[in-house]
Amino acid sequence: MSNGAYATAYERSINDPDAFWGEAATAIEWITPPTTVLDASRPPFYRWFTGGTLNTCFNALDRHVRDGRGDQVALYYDSPVTEVKSSLTYAALLDQVSRFAGALAGLGVTKGDRVLVYMPMVPEAVVAMLACARLGAVHSVVFGGFAPAELSARIEDAKPKVIVSATCGIEPSRTIAYRPMLEGGIDRSEHKPEHVIMLQRPQLTSEPGPQAHPWVEHDWHALLVSAQQAGCVEVAATDPLYILYTSGTTGRPKGIVRDNGGHAVALRWSMENIYDIHPGEVWFTASDVGWVVGHSYIVYAPLLTGATTILYEGKPVGTPDASAFWRIISEYGAKAMFTAPTAYRAIKREDPGGEKMAGHDISGLRNVFLAGERLDPDTYHWANDILHCEVVDNWWQTETGWPIAANLRGLDPMPIKPGSPSVRVPGYDVQVLDEVGALCDRGNEGAIAIRLPLPPGTLPTLWQDDDRYVSGYLSVYEGYYLTGDGGLIDEDGYVYVMGRTDDVLNVAGHRLSTGSIEAALAGHPDVAECAVIGVADDFKGQIPRGLVVLKGGIDAQAEGERIRKELVQRVRDEVGAVASLKQVDIVAALPKTRSGKILRKTMRELADGKVPTIPGTIEDASVLDALKDTLAHTQH
């Protein structure tokens, strides 16, 4: 490992976090500078930059306009699915954001109120997020691919005063009407918003139905025309900027809270030190604003940096073909891009020889960053061979909001070891622990945990649920945050992340909960019991499989086909097509421990062709034996 800039920065970040992060904080403009850098007065709840006040939107927009970047493009919108391309300068984006903030304020939104954003990849989604930040309101963006059950769980927990939505999302194969999902989501929730703001998209317009609703619907454009511009509201560094729900193992999503101060400091630092992107440069993240990668690296980090971001409403393939990314990179002059490995596997599958690169000049590209799931060495080598620039894995999660392990391209680029996201990022004291919480020797696999405190920008807690934060993340190993991933650190300090140790699914870089999919299956009238497991898939990394036990008296032979089809459809309708559940097997019984816990991990191992871990507490081993053949056949 390098003994240079990285080693010095890492050592300082862990041993003198006040100095390290105090210095990083000078890149952010504060209204009142913080009085404390690391506030350790209430462990295990650590806070950053207490006493400081700022506004995140000011740092992302106003200050750049003030400092002469008004005419620089802040955001390129490129939408092959609607054949629209447009751009917004920093001045234009500021104008839209301050007017939309005025519109929200006109509806009574003030500091601390929640605003839920359920939108496709359109610039208005970014405008809505930044407008909330401007008012000190807390946004909660819900991925547009989620169906009513997922949406309603988020409405219930966040209790938004306003929901901002659009009439449709556009997938290459179809137009997705949002209104039925939005109304379905609100109907199922006890909490109702006071207002819904609807962006009418020309591809599918829709008006509210005749039924009476407790909320008032407003048209995005009409509201904006009459709105006054709103200024920036001063918030505490520790005030929440947003809540982003993520999947745990149960059906109840976890509301990850992001604060204002730590977030701004960490993202600004990461942009130059990890991603090597500087003010004025163009950066392309192909993800969705509904995921953490979209929050951090489509919206906040590039704008906090004064860089130019690209919002891409399309896919790596099929819109129109595997040249999509190369076109974007060359057309806008992107210096680096970021996406999930699955996207590169999709391109590899369509265009293994990279012929579609012809005619696109991507020589300005310095790095391609991949995260969201494990970067398998095959995909790494393929991408590396065709790209002629560095392909850089980085590991993190919704909870952290920015990388835990990375190759720090701007600080101290290091040799890349395929299969590893490289080293611990400054601020993260990552350790590998065994079952009793002892440190594993270098090279030995265990649970990856991070010694507290976590660095700025990471979750301070779960939304209004300190207890769940502690029980879900901090209670397994005293003094550590449990990442939920297993892996090792090698002799050179490189981290290897092998996969989740819990039942969280990762399908095409989308994090999904087994619990939500199980809840959808269990709601079918013929199902007595069910389990969902994530099995290995060459393309999507993982895909879910469902196993169901039917209620007594149902003839599986005669009814099986119908029930299986209905179950697949139920998951699409409740959770979303993004769950990608295609295979449901009807089985006689599910393997359990004597206390009734379903042995999902054992089934997963069998499906993946691994030697299964069979706990001594298994209730009836013959149940597992009977499932072996079924599990061995995954439809890919």
Binding site for ligand AMP (CB under 6 A): 246, 292, 371-375, 393-398, 421, 483-485, 497, 500, 506, 511
**CB-nearer residue toward ligand AMP: 235 or 575:** 575
Q: Is the dihedral of CA 422, 423, 424, 425 positive or negative?
A: negative
Cβ neighbours for 24, distance < 8 A, ≥ 6 positions apart: 265, 266, 268, 269, 456
How far from each other are the two terminal CA atoms of the chain, in whole angstroms?
40
**CB-nearer residue toward ligand COA: 53 or 339:** 339
Encoded amino acid at 109, one letter:
V
**CB-nearer residue toward ligand COA: 316 or 460:** 316
Name which of ligand AMP, ligand COA, none residue 340 binds, using a CB cut-off of 5 to 8 Å depending on partner kind.
ligand COA
**CB-nearer residue toward ligand COA: 89 or 140:** 140
Stretch that binds ligand COA, among 168-176, 185-193, 238-246, 348-356 (CB under 6 A): 168-176
What does the alpha-carbon distance between residue 411 and residue 425 come to, in Å, rounded to a whole number? 11
Name the DSSP letter for residue 630.
H
**CB-nearer residue toward ligand COA: 315 or 570:** 315
**CB-nearer residue toward ligand COA: 281 or 288:** 288
Name which of ligand AMP, ligand COA, none residue 397 binds, using a CB cut-off of 5 to 8 Å depending on partner kind.
ligand AMP
Task: Give the one residue of 422, 513, 580, 602 binding ligand COA; rule: CB under 6 A.
Answer: 580
**Total binding residues for ligand COA by CB under 6 A?**
25
Site for ligand COA in 345-384 (CB under 6 A): 346, 372
Give least dist CB 327 to ligand COA, A: 15
Cβ neighbours for 600, distance < 8 A, ≥ 6 positions apart: 503, 514, 531, 532, 533
Stretch that binds ligand COA, among 309-317, 381-389, 413-421, 551-559 (CB under 6 A): 309-317
Stretch that binds ligand COA, among 235-243, 288-296, 356-364, 519-527 (CB under 6 A): 288-296
Task: Give the one residue of 6, 49, 76, 291 binding ligand COA; rule: CB under 6 A.
Answer: 291
Please calculate the CA angle 386-389-390 and round it to the nearest 5 degrees.
110
**CB-nearer residue toward ligand AMP: 195 or 500:** 500
**CB-nearer residue toward ligand AMP: 33 or 419:** 419
Name which of ligand AMP, ligand COA, none residue 171 binds, using a CB cut-off of 5 to 8 Å depending on partner kind.
ligand COA
**CB-nearer residue toward ligand AMP: 375 or 571:** 375
Six-digit token string for 185: 């989501």
**CB-nearer residue toward ligand COA: 118 or 428:** 118
- Listed in sequence order, the DSSP H helices in 109-177 are 123-135, 148-158
> Is there a contact between 551 and 586 (Cβ–Cβ < 8 Å)?
no
Strands (E), 205-359: 216-219, 235-236, 240-246, 254-259, 282-285, 308-312, 336-339
Task: Give the one residue of 142, 447, 482, 578 binding ligand COA; rule: CB under 6 A.
Answer: 578
Please calculate the CA angle 308-311-313 and round it to the nearest 5 degrees.
160
What does the alpha-carbon distance between residue 607 and residue 594 come to, in Å, rounded to a whole number? 22
Q: Is the dihedral of CA 523, 526, 531, 537 positive or negative?
A: negative
What does the alpha-carbon distance between residue 137 and residue 31 come to, in Å, rounded to a whole number? 18
> Is there a contact between 547 and 282 (Cβ–Cβ < 8 Å)?
no
- Single out the residue of 285, 287, 315, 316 nearest to residue 301, CA to CA: 285
Give least dist CB 398 to ligand AMP, A: 3
Give least dist CB 420 to ligand AMP, A: 9
Stretch that binds ligand COA, among 9-17, 166-174, 361-369, 450-458 (CB under 6 A): 166-174
Site mask, ligand COA, residues 529-568, x = CB under 6 A? Answer: ----------------------------------------
Site mask, ligand COA, residues 332-351, x = CB under 6 A? Answer: -------xx-xx--x-----
User: Which single residue is written with the structure tokens 């769980």?
Assistant: 153
Task: Give the one residue of 80, 169, 240, 302 binding ligand COA; rule: CB under 6 A.
Answer: 169
Cβ neighbours for 487, distance < 8 A, ≥ 6 positions apart: 432, 445, 446, 448, 495, 496, 497, 498
What does the alpha-carbon distance between residue 261 and residue 428 come to, in Å, rounded to a whole number? 18
Name which of ligand AMP, ligand COA, none residue 315 binds, using a CB cut-off of 5 to 8 Å depending on partner kind.
ligand COA
Task: Give the one residue of 123, 316, 403, 426 binding ligand COA; rule: CB under 6 A.
Answer: 316
**CB-nearer residue toward ligand AMP: 77 or 496:** 496
**CB-nearer residue toward ligand AMP: 124 or 393:** 393
Give least dist CB 316 to ligand COA, A: 5
Give 17-84 as a 3 state SS string: HHHHHHHHHHHCCCCECCCCCEECCCCCCCEECCCCEECHHHHHHHHHHHHHHCCCEEEEEEECCCCE
Task: Give the one residue of 80, 193, 460, 509 binding ligand COA; rule: CB under 6 A.
Answer: 509
Six-digit token string for 477: 């190993």
Give least dist CB 81 to ligand COA, A: 11
Name which of ligand AMP, ligand COA, none residue 390 binds, using a CB cut-off of 5 to 8 Å depending on partner kind.
none
Name which of ligand COA, ligand AMP, none residue 246 binds, using a CB cut-off of 5 to 8 Å depending on partner kind.
ligand AMP
Whether the bond into 180 is cis, omega within 30 of 0: no
User: Which single residue is written with the structure tokens 């069910």?
Assistant: 530
Determine phi and psi for 489, rounding to 5 degrees: -120, 130
Applying CB under 6 A, which residues contact ligand COA? 144-145, 169, 171, 173, 176, 287-288, 291, 293, 315-317, 339-340, 342-343, 346, 372, 508-510, 577-578, 580
